[in-house]
Amino acid sequence: MATKGLNNVQIIGNLGNEPELAYTPNNVAKCVVNLATSEIYKDRNGNPVEDTEWHRVIIWGKRAELVHQFRAKGDQLYVKGKKKTRTYQDSNGNDKSICEIIVDQSGDVQLLGRKEAQSV
- Total domain count for the chain? 1
Query: Is the pTM here over 0.95, yes or no?
Result: no
Instruction: Give me the chain's average pLDDT, please.
Output: 90
Range of the domain at 86: 9-108
For residue 101, tell me if it sits in a domain: yes
Average pLDDT over every residue of 80-91: 93
Average pLDDT over every residue of 6-13: 92
Decide if pLDDT at 59 tops 70.
yes
**Full 3-state SS string of the chain:** CCCCCCCCEEEEEEECCCCEEEECCCCCEEEEEEEEEEEEEECCCCCEEEEEEEEEEEEECHHHHHHHHHCCCCCEEEEEEEEEEEEEECCCCCEEEEEEEEECCCCEEEECCCCCCCCC
CATH of residue 60's domain is 2.40.50.140
For residue 50, tell me if it sits in a domain: yes
For residue 22, tell me if it sits in a domain: yes
